[in-house]
Amino acid sequence: MSTTLQDPNKLKQAKIGIYGLSIVVPVVVAVLFGVKIEGVDLSFLPAVYATINGITAVTLVLALIAIKKRNQSLHRALIRFSLLLSLLFLALYVAYHMTSDPTEYLGDYKTLYYAILISHILLSVAVIPIVLFTYLFAWQGNFERHKKWTRFAWPIWFYVATTGVIVYLMISPFYGK
């Protein structure tokens, strides 16, 4: 249990930080999509960040298994690794989109593709505060609340990670066309 986050002022600061990140990250990503850097070829990145999404999904499953086996230290390490992977994904995703033109989906399953893509994008925004608050509750040692929030956080995070891979697999044949 973190005694630092038992202090009401520190807890309030942590909550404000989570709310701030939950607003700032999507806004900054949206703004950076309007920035185009010419002359930099990062066309290899979609495969990299799709792989990172896949590893995140596997890591989340392993974290779930670890906690079911009551291995809190492994669970903690896997969740932290998942958070790190998500941050790395975000950085690479933004870098790619700042240096590349958008790719249009030209396949036969447009409705399915856009349904997955839109749900993926919306939930990737929603998952930020949900995961961060879930993590905060564990950090506080409030495992009952952590467990309740995890019932929402884990499936959403897992969905975002797996649909990231699916979206990549569906759009990848159309890169550069």
Dihedral angle of Cα 163, 115, 154, 134, to the nearest 10 degrees: 120
- pLDDT average, residue stretch 37-66: 96
Which range marks the domain in which residue 122 is found? 41-174
What CATH number does the domain containing 94 carry?
1.20.120.80
% of the chain residues with pLDDT over 70 = 97
**107, part of any domain:** yes
Closest C-alpha among 109, 98, 56, 110 to residue 81: 56
From CA 93, how far away is CA 100, in angstroms rounded?
11
**54, part of any domain:** yes
Structural domain count, the chain: 1
**13, part of any domain:** no
Residue with tokens 């409705």, as numbered in its chain: 111
pTM of the model as a whole: 0.91
**140, part of any domain:** yes
From CA 125, how far away is CA 123, in angstroms rounded?
5
Q: What is the pLDDT of residues 100-154, one digit of tens each?
A: 988 999 999 999 999 999 999 999 999 999 999 999 999 999 999 999 999 999 9
**12, part of any domain:** no
